[in-house]
């Protein structure tokens, strides 16, 4: 059995899937943190691995960038492989000056400009939100691990390059703290299909101050986020 984009056989993918955007990140996470990782997907080099973490079966699947891409993988994982929870582990650009590079964010809700959501909800604006149990669990696990987190409302955009930071003023004045490109449709699909989803994000750049993390800084803070995700999983 395979889908358009995933060549795994039935049973090769765990109930819980960690989803970084970058498929090489998926490979890195699997090879670094999981015991006996096995690659189940090479289609389009969008690598997916299954292994165990403290004896528990977990998969890691690259999502690609943007809502069009993550929507495909989230849909096929849930609909065709019976996946029950997806934990996105990604990066974001901070929209408020006080958010430091490397800060881990638990995305409570994801507003956005995704045409995918606009096609689905033409007569209103759907409130895409995290699974509450996963969110609370991540909050508590981070505390136990002594990793600071910020819980907040985020924005998912289809457009990485914008006309300027002023685009974000009205969103920030309505409580949005950072921007990325995947969570809104992930939350929508998970709710629709009866699965649980949560996005954990690390601040890789600050759009207000212009600061961007070095690769070493990114590596370090990314590890904190992965630790939380693995404990939640």
Binding site for ligand HPA (CB under 6 A): 91-93, 157, 160, 179-181, 204-205, 207
| 131 vs 157, beta carbon nearer ligand HPA | 157
Question: Two tokens at 8?
Answer: 């795994």
Q: What is the rounded radius of gyration, in angstroms, for the C-alpha atoms of the chain?
A: 17
For strands 104-112 and 149-156, give the pairing: parallel
Q: How far is the CB of 67 from ligand HPA (least distance, A)?
A: 11
Residues pairing with 198 in the sheet: 87
Q: How far is the CB of 120 from ligand HPA (least distance, A)?
A: 22
Q: Which is nearer to ligand HPA, 14 or 87 (CB)?
A: 87
Nearest to ligand HPA of 18, 181 (CB atom): 181
Minimal CB distance to ligand HPA: which residue?
93
48-87 in b/e form (b: 16+ CB < 10 A) is bbbbebeeeebbbbbbbebbebbbbbbbbbbebbebebbb
Known catalytic membership, residue 113: no
Task: Please state whether beta strands 35-41 and 48-53 pair in parallel, antiparallel, or not at all (unpaired).
Answer: antiparallel
CB of 93 to ligand HPA, least distance (A): 2
Q: Which of 153, 162, 205, 224 is an active site residue?
A: 205
Residues that are catalytic: 205
């Amino acid at each position: 059995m395979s889908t358009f984009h995933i060549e795994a056989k039935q049973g090769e993918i765990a109930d819980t899937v960690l989803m970084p955007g970058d498929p090489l990140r998926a490979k890195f996470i699997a090879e670094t943190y999981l015991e006996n990782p096995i690659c189940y997907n090479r289609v389009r080099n969008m690598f997916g691995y299954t292994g165990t973490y403290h004896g528990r079966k977990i998969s890691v699947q690259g999502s690609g960038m943007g809502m069009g891409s993550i929507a495909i993988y989230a849909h096929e994982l849930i609909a065709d492989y019976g996946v029950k929870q997806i934990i996105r582990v990604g990066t974001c650009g901070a929209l408020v000056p006080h958010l430091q590079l490397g800060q881990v964010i638990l995305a409570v809700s994801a507003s956005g400009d995704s045409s995918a959501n606009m096609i689905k909800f033409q007569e209103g604006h759907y409130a895409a939100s995290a699974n509450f149990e996963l969110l609370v669990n991540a909050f508590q696990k981070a505390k136990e691990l002594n990793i600071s987190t910020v819980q907040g409302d985020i924005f998912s955009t289809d457009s990485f390059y914008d006309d300027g930071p002023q685009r974000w003023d009205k969103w920030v004045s309505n409580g949005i703290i950072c921007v990325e490109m995947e969570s809104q449709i992930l939350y929508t699909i998970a709710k629709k299909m009866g699965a649980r989803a949560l996005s954990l994000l690390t601040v890789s750049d600050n759009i207000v101050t212009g600061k961007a993390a070095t690769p070493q800084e990114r590596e370090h803070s990314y590890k904190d986020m992965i630790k939380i995700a693995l404990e939640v999983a």
